[in-house]
């Protein structure tokens, strides 16, 4: 079964936690590269979601201006 898409707010909260790790006492240089890759992938996914929302809003805006 395919994993359900997370809501955008949940993704942003998850990204915040990943970024906070870099400033926490749990930070370990050995883990930094992997954690960075995880955060970068999540940020890219969030950017994709935001672009989709922007496109949807633009389409809706066009409908209202006609």
- Rounded to 10 degrees, what is the CA torsion of 56, 18, 5, 62? 0
What share of the chain has pLDDT > 70, as a percent?
86
Residue 1 has pLDDT above 50, yes or no: no
Please state, rounded to an integer, the average pLDDT across all residues of the chain. 88
Give Cα 6 distance to the centre of its chain: 10
Q: Where residue 6 falls among pLDDT bands split at 50, 70, 90?
A: low
- Give the other-Cβ count within 10 Å of 19's Cβ: 15
């Amino acid at each position: 079964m395919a994993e359900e898409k997370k809501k955008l707010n949940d993704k942003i909260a998850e990204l915040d936690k990943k970024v906070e790790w870099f400033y926490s006492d749990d930070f370990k240089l050995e883990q930094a590269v992997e954690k960075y890759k995880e955060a970068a992938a999540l940020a890219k996914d969030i950017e994709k979601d935001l672009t989709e929302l922007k496109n949807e809003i633009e389409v809706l805006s066009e409908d209202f201006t006609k």
